[in-house]
Structure 1
């Protein structure tokens, strides 16, 4: 299996058109492609810097000519959750015509969309990418050859991965920045290439404050690692 990540600009996609004209982004929470009906159903998280721009973007999306169904579940400040059904785009039909399948969530912002799609072999991948060029603009950002064993291993251990993800999200901005800076500076190398003093100078705080932020962040991450180990299959 070949897993391909693309930065895609479809010319007939409601989400791309809307994000190009308005300061909104879309993240897929659920998606289902109905090849018989030639439609894509999605549940999406919509985000914007402010409530007004969010409303303008949602209105434009709802009224798009390729929008078959639209439902607003919730809206608060700059965030909304929606359900949509859109007509199959040229890119979607090209992918399915070549036996391709979605392998990851969509992320749409600034008029482009990150696609993660899979194909069963190299020849099919090349044929699909060639046909995609006829009606779309895209850049292949990553191309990975995955074994079915590796794919199923990822699926089996999705809960463990989710545990780690939640721990990363639980970090405060200060904890995350401290740990990232420490890693980049070589604090965790052996021998160490950075010290608490050099990190304290970078953040303009005391060494005690840096140490405290580091230990808090490490504690959260280590707890999640232990929990994830228990859930690994």
Structure 2
């Protein structure tokens, strides 16, 4: 039994998949769950966007690689579901053993965060990354018990809420005194202040309900 698990984050540039192209063209930040690859090589995509989501929808709807695009609105964000006939970079890493948890597309750069089991698997994933254009390792660290919920467990929050919570935490929004204002975090996310606060409050309410039962 292998008792070592590592948290890994990759930066991806130059990807030509539909989500990367649409995010680059519209300037919209896209928060996505890992794609599910079907036997016919079509990928099931689930993702969300905040401001200017209509522009994103229009670009994707015109993309011949996208099929059955569906949108719905919740918590001030637009949620998307569709099929993609174009392979995603993350599939190359997944085949090598990378367990993706979150993907974010922003201004032509992607962040893929997940885990690998053991250094041997990590070496295989890094070898696959080296053969894939534009993929570089940003961070790797041991997965401790305090991190397990953040990576291995799916809290019942939307990708947009998770992005708001993570970005607020990273920018010091929850510190005393605050390291960043709500407007600062909203600007970093590329959304309005009111949209950020709505996602933050809904995400906090969901997390607190799960933590405290």
TM-score (norm 1): 0.57
| Runs of 5+ consecutive residues of structure 1 not aligned to the other structure | 170-175, 185-223
Contact kept? 1:19, 1:110, Cα under 8 Å? yes
1:31-74 per-position Cα deviation (integer Å, ceiling 9, x unaligned): 551353333323322223x5xxx433322122224324311224
Pairwise CA distance, 1:7: 1.9
Which residue number in structure 1 is paired with residue 195 of structure 2?
none
Contact kept? 1:31, 1:40, Cα under 8 Å? no
Flag the structure with larger Rg.
Answer: 1
From 10, 15, 18, give the equivalent of 2:22. 18
Pairwise CA distance, 1:139: 3.2
**Structure (1/2) with the larger helix percentage:** 1
Aligned length: 175
From 44, 49, 64, give the equivalent of 1:41. 44
TM-score (norm 2): 0.61
Distance 1:32 1:153, change over 3 A: closer
| Runs of 5+ consecutive residues of structure 2 not aligned to the other structure | 166-171, 180-205
Distance 1:93 1:105, change over 3 A: closer
3-state SS, counterpart of residue 180 of structure 1: coil
Asked if 1:110 corresponds to 2:113, the answer is no
From 140, 144, 147, give the equivalent of 1:143. 140
From 83, 86, 93, give the equivalent of 2:84. 86
Which residue number in structure 2 is paired with residue 199 of structure 1?
none
Asked if 1:7 corresponds to 2:11, the answer is yes
CA RMSD of the aligned region, Å?
4.2
Asked if 1:182 corresponds to 2:177, the answer is yes
Question: Residues 53-68 of structure 1: matches in 2 within 5 Å?
Answer: 54-68=53-67
Pairwise CA distance, 1:14: 0.9
Distance 1:117 1:45, change over 3 A: same
Question: Residues 63-212 of structure 1: matches in 2 within 5 Å?
Answer: 63-74=62-73, 79-87=77-85, 89=87, 91-102=89-100, 104-146=101-143, 151=148, 158=155, 180=175, 182=177
**Greater CA deviation, 81-90 or 145-154?**
145-154
3-state SS, counterpart of residue 12 of structure 1: coil
Contact kept? 1:4, 1:116, Cα under 8 Å? yes
Contact kept? 1:11, 1:135, Cα under 8 Å? no
Which residue number in structure 1 is paired with residue 188 of structure 2?
none
Alpha-carbon distance in structure 1 between the residues aligned to 2:211 and 2:88: 43
Pairwise CA distance, 1:5: 1.0
